[in-house]
Amino acid sequence: MNSTMVEAPSVEAGSHPAGHRWTDPATLDSGIRALVISSVGLLATCIIQLGVVWVGQSAALLADALHNLVDVFTSIPLWIAFVLSRRLATRRFTYGYARAEDVAGVTIILFIVASAILAGYAALYKWSSGAPTTHLGLGMGAALAGAIGNELVAVYKIRVGKAIGSVALVADGQHSRADALTSVGAFFGILGVFWGFPWADPLMGLLISVAILYIAWEAGREVLARIMDAIEPETVNQIEQITGAVAGVHRVDEVRARWIGHQVMIELSIEVSPRLTVAKGHQIAETVRHELFHHIPRLGDALVHVNPAWEGMDPYHALTADHTPDSRTPSTAKRNTP
């Protein structure tokens, strides 16, 4: 066996994560700043709308105002998650605290559902009580202000969320965008009252409640997928292609990847020649990691396990074959010529 010492591959200083801090503090600062700015804008909009609801008794505008208020409250768990993500991994939380962001996403969905239930109850009460809607011009103005404010907040949140890879912040931005649509709905509900249809206001309040539930379903699917460690299949394909192209890699045996917060974590196994030294096999694995860091967006870390290449039956894992059922991700990477 060749025992020649191998020089370690060079890596650009500061280009990759160090230690166990996988989340860039500057990224977290961007997320927190987006939350603070958007929350201030939404709170101002909500206060204006609730003031108009107090004097005008519009069910549709109340539903819209409650939805805006929920947006402010959903920023709190997300802000806490961003703060927790700054903390380093410990012997108890060995993967760090980035998963808190995914938990915050679930909390946001629960808040959205609660706002839909509350708004629906208010609309039904307004319908059954027959209380009149007054100050129509003021109500329509407040609804339009809510639509404009929410759309501006939505654009900002979604842009920052996509830039830092935070599905929870993007979901919160989509929530704000839907709020803009519900504000338009509130406008038309009050307009219907102005045209002589008093039932238009509570009816629009109920429709807004249904729309909010649909928003919760759409945003919740992606959030829950992250909780279940879902990853985009095209990302797996990209990992296999990048790894299989590295010199010395005979085959990509297994690829597992998942989102933790807004970072991608990768675990994969590769085959190399069994005649290589440990140092040479490690160098190939580090080259794979280096290539992944440069080509996989928002990669937090990659764990590369090295297997000796074999033909036919696997002679190298017989000792643990009874303990580890084959659950590998099917690989499309081709075996390279040794």
When comparing pLDDT for 279 and 160, which is higher?
Answer: 279
Residue 64, burial from CB neighbour count under 10 angstroms (0-12, 13-18, 19+): buried
In this prediction, residue 266 carries a pLDDT of 95
In this prediction, residue 138 carries a pLDDT of 72
One-letter amino acid for residue 274 of the chain: P
Report how far residue 73's alpha carbon sits from residue 338's, in angstroms, rounded to the nearest whole number.
Answer: 58
Topology at the third CATH level for domain 233-320: Alpha-Beta Plaits (3.30.70)
In this prediction, residue 132 carries a pLDDT of 64
Report how far residue 253's alpha carbon sits from residue 287's, in angstroms, rounded to the nearest whole number.
Answer: 17
Q: What is the mean pLDDT of the chain?
A: 77
Report how far residue 83's alpha carbon sits from residue 191's, in angstroms, rounded to the nearest whole number.
Answer: 44
Average pLDDT of 279-301? 93
pLDDT for residue 102 is more than 90: no
Report how far residue 16's alpha carbon sits from residue 188's, in angstroms, rounded to the nearest whole number.
Answer: 53
When comparing pLDDT for 175 and 279, which is higher?
Answer: 279
Which tens digits make up the pLDDT trace of 5-63? 333 333 343 445 443 444 555 566 677 777 777 777 777 777 777 777 776 666 666 76
Average pLDDT of 93-115? 83
Task: Please enumerate in sequence order all residues whose Cβ is within 8 A of that of 11, keeping only pairs 6 or more positions apart, or say none.
Answer: 290
For domain 25-227, the CATH architecture is: Up-down Bundle (1.20)
Which tens digits make up the pLDDT trace of 149-199? 778 888 888 888 888 777 777 777 877 777 777 777 778 777 887 888 877
In this prediction, residue 12 carries a pLDDT of 40
pLDDT for residue 287 is more than 90: yes
Q: Boundaries of CATH 1.20.1510.10 in the chain?
A: 25-227
pLDDT for residue 250 is more than 90: yes
Buried b (16+ CB within 10 A) or exposed e, 252-271: bbbbbbebbbbbbbbebbbb
In this prediction, residue 6 carries a pLDDT of 33
Write down the pTM of the prediction: 0.67
Average pLDDT of 198-208? 78
Q: Boundaries of CATH 3.30.70.1350 in the chain?
A: 233-320
